[in-house]
Amino acid sequence: MNAPARVTFRIRRFDPVRQSPPSWEDFEIPAVAGMTVLDGLRTIKETLAPTLAWRSSCRMGVCGSCGMFINGHPRLACNTQIAELGSGPVTVAPLPNFDTIRDLVPDLRPMFDKHAALSPYIIRDDHDEMYEPTGEYGQTPEELEEFLQFTYCIKCGCCMAACPTCATDPVYSGPMPLGQAHRYNADSRDGGFTTRKTALAGDQGPWRCHYAGECSRACPKGVDPARAIQLMKRQLVFDYLRLYSQPCPAGVVTPAPASARRPDVPEAPAPTVDVSRARTSPSC
Amino acid sequence: MRDQRLWTWHVAAGLVVLVTLALHMAIMHLDALLGLFNPAGGHPIDWANVAARSRQGFFLVSYVVLLGAALFHGLYGLRTILHELGPGPALRRGVDVTLLAGGGVLFVFGAWAAWAAFALARTV
Amino acid sequence: MLDTKGYPNRLGLRGWVGGGRWGLERYLYTLHRLTGLGLLVYFLLHIIVTSARAFGAAAWDASMARVTGPVFVAGEYLVFAAFVFHAANGVRLALVELGWAIGRPIEPVYPYRTSVDEQRPLAVGVLIVAALLAVVGGLDFFVLH
């Protein structure tokens, strides 16, 4: 598909100083093959509108900064080529369901607060082992597959913008925080199901998800938060029916006995940083 | 804990409604095709048919079970929709109390009607 | 910390309905909600109207006389159609929301295949079953009577 010679960007602008309602502004720029929406925004900022604001960083769909509402869909600006959007103008608005800080910059803090409230980290009793590990926790490839898909989340907020419940309900945690809570609930090394359940069993939990499926369609990384949320519901319902109890977290595996190194495998290069210094924090 | 418990019962009540309401719909609205439980012939809402069903213990039980399950399923669904509109904590509480009280009154009233119709049909 | 006030940008009820370029499941979600509300309103009135049977034949006949006519027949057919859709879609939702029809977590490889694709045959099946039952009901409501 060839990109048109010129393309119109219709961008929603908001100035936090004036606090007047957001308005749409059109910009026409030359289009080149392979041009992404993010490339277009850069061209506009460099040539037409120096005050245009948005958030971006890596330019390759990894950092999760440039989530925007592009032609009515939440997408990453760096991952969206203008050629795939058809021949009309490219409409770019800030992600909905978040307050707008300025132009295309959404306020993602409520999402991160909800994320943090669901304890998205490994919770275990053996603190000594966690902070001074003597080995690694054992995990089979099958156990890894139970949550691996959900670890690819880049916290861009596209799923929250697509979710119908998030469109009205400020209490509901939303797809990203819930998906990440399940990522840890499903981790065989974790023992925090009971801790997370205190929040998940109430209003913030998965009960306001009705499987419209939009979060999974919107996710630019194929994380499928809707799947995580339904699996979480099953776990919680079975827990209520006393049909589920979280298994004991995986223990430390005994290191395999030393074996002769294969001659064709080279040695690892020497460290480029002083690891012993990096481990020392200034406070201790 | 609250929604974990209520949502589980919401699904369970939905399954009960599925069976009992499907039977009710089949009797009342597919009568020309199936002709279930209409011993007097004619329309299912003719008094003779209504009285004939009302005097059976099976229908008394199934009506009360359908009433309770459908009220719970429907009012919990309504509660979900109202909560998702984003009311404040006081309004949420108000919604909960109103729906609980309204559901309770309707259940008592509907169950009484089923029982009274059962008793009446038995005496005739 | 930010010292500016953000502009509220929730989609509101518009975000429930979606519309236009959203997926099939979004429409099923909306329709499930609408049919559920419709059925609930009918059901609450139905409890009151049919309670007349507790007072005997005369009260029953008087009560039924108030809800006869083509408008009520059409309305009852809508209730029947709403029920068959809500029931069929409800079975799908019970299966999906309890994690039984969405497949196991997979390594995301582009083009991504999600749980939505896994349960899609079920969603299509819901539409077919609901449409078939609605046609059968229509036959009974409008042709055989």
Residue A44: count other Cβ atoms within 10 Å of its Cβ.
19
Rounded mean pLDDT, C53-81: 95
B83 and A203 in contact by Cβ < 8 A? yes
CA–centroid distance for A198 within its chain: 23
Burial class of residue C56, CB neighbours in 10 A (0-12, 13-18, 19+): middle
The two tokens of residue A185 are 């609930």
Chains interfacing with A (3 or more CB pairs < 8 Å)? B, C
- Of A224, A240, A256, the residue at which a domain comes to its end is A240
**Confidence tier at A134 by pLDDT (50, 70, 90):** confident
Is the pLDDT confidence value at B37 over 60? yes
- Of A106, A123, A140, the residue at which a domain comes to its end is A106
**CA dist., res. B14 & res. A241, Å (int):** 17
Query: Domain extents for chain B?
Result: 2-123
Residue with tokens 């059962």: B118
Same domain (yes/no): A186, A124:
yes
Same domain (yes/no): A94, A149:
no
In a domain, A269, yes or no: no
Interval C118-136: pLDDT, tens: 999 999 999 999 999 999 9
Cα-Cα end-to-end distance for chain A: 60
B4 and A170 in contact by Cβ < 8 A? no
Is the pLDDT confidence value at A3 over 80? no
How far apart, in Å, are the Cα atoms of A68 and each of A95, A153, B80? Answer: 5, 16, 29
Same domain (yes/no): A33, A93:
yes
Distance from CA of C106 to the nearest CA of B (A): 27
**Confidence tier at B56 by pLDDT (50, 70, 90):** very high
Rounded mean pLDDT, C49-71: 95
Which of C36, C44, C54 shows the shortest C-beta gap to B106? C44
pLDDT of C63 reads: 95
Is the pLDDT confidence value at C3 over 60? no
**CA dist., res. A68 & res. A95, Å (int):** 5
Is the pLDDT confidence value at A54 over 90? yes
Q: Which residues pair with A81 in a beta bridge?
A: A36
Instruction: CATH number of the domain at C100, please.
Output: 1.20.1300.10
Same domain (yes/no): A19, A38:
yes
Q: How many domains does chain C have?
A: 1
Element (H, E) at A199: helix A193-200
In a domain, C5, yes or no: no
Residue of A163, A169, A172 to mutate for B, most B C-beta atoms under 10 A: A169
Rounded mean pLDDT, A278-283: 46
Question: Measuring CA to CA, which residue among A85, A75, A74 is closest to residue A8?
Answer: A85
Same domain (yes/no): A54, A143:
no
How far apart, in Å, are the Cα atoms of C18 and each of A84, A96, B82, C11, C27? Answer: 21, 13, 18, 10, 8
Q: Which residues of B7-40 are buried (b: 16+ CB within 10 A; e: fewer)?
A: bbebbbbbebbbebbeebbbbbbbbeeeeebbee
Same domain (yes/no): A72, A130:
no
Domain boundaries B2-123, CATH class: mainly alpha
Q: Give counts: helices (H), strands (E), chain C.
A: 5, 0
pLDDT of A275 reads: 56
Is the pLDDT confidence value at A282 over 50? no
CA–centroid distance for A157 within its chain: 6
Residue C19: count other Cβ atoms within 10 Å of its Cβ.
11
Same domain (yes/no): A121, A231:
yes
Q: Is B116 on the interface with C (CB under 8 A)?
A: yes
ipTM for the complex? Answer: 0.95
Interval B65-106: pLDDT, tens: 999 999 999 999 999 999 999 999 999 999 999 999 999 999
B113 and C51 in contact by Cβ < 8 A? yes
Same domain (yes/no): A119, A196:
yes
In a domain, A266, yes or no: no
Rounded mean pLDDT, B106-123: 96
Q: Which domain holds residue A180?
A: 109-240
| Interface A:C, Cβ pairs < 8 A | 153
User: Residues of C with CB below 8 A from A227's CB?
Assistant: 102-103, 105, 114-115
Chains interfacing with C (3 or more CB pairs < 8 Å)? A, B
Q: Which domain holds residue C87?
A: 23-143
Residue of A nearest to B9 (CA): A237
In a domain, A1, yes or no: no
C137 and B29 in contact by Cβ < 8 A? yes
C90 and B18 in contact by Cβ < 8 A? yes
Q: What is the DSSP string of A44-108?
A: HHHHT-TT------SSSSSS---EEEETTEEEEGGG-BGGGG-SS-EEEEEPTTS-EEETTEE--
Q: Is A263 on the interface with C (CB under 8 A)?
A: no
Q: How many domains does chain A have?
A: 2
